[in-house]
Amino acid sequence: MNWSDVAGEVFEETLRRRKMREAAEALDKFRESTRTPGWSEAGEIRQWRDTRRKL
């Protein structure tokens, strides 16, 4: 077994996971900073569906 290869794979996997976690945290911060108070996704969808049914 080539331990250098094993260590390299573990290092790359650890780095990949860290980058994914940092990207997810940045996305969460962005979503929070662009949030409109009082706006509801479910409410918006319901409004569009109700409007469509009336046509």
Mean pLDDT, the chain, as a whole number? Answer: 93
How do the domains of the chain map onto residue ranges?
A: 3-54
Q: Which two tokens stand for residue 46?
A: 């319901």
Q: Tell me the average pLDDT across 20-27.
A: 98
Read off the DSSP letter of residue 1. -
| Spatial distance between the Cα atoms of 27 and 38, rounded to a whole number of angstroms | 21
How far apart CA 52 and CA 45 sit, in angstroms, is 11
Distance, CA of 30 to CA of 21 (rounded, Å)? 14
Q: Say if residue 54's pLDDT is above 80.
A: no
Residue 19 confidence (pLDDT) above 90: yes
Chain position carrying tokens 């794979």: 9
Q: How far, in Å, CA of 40 to CA of 43, rounded?
A: 5
Residue-wise pLDDT for 27-53, tens only, equals: 999 999 998 888 888 999 999 999 888
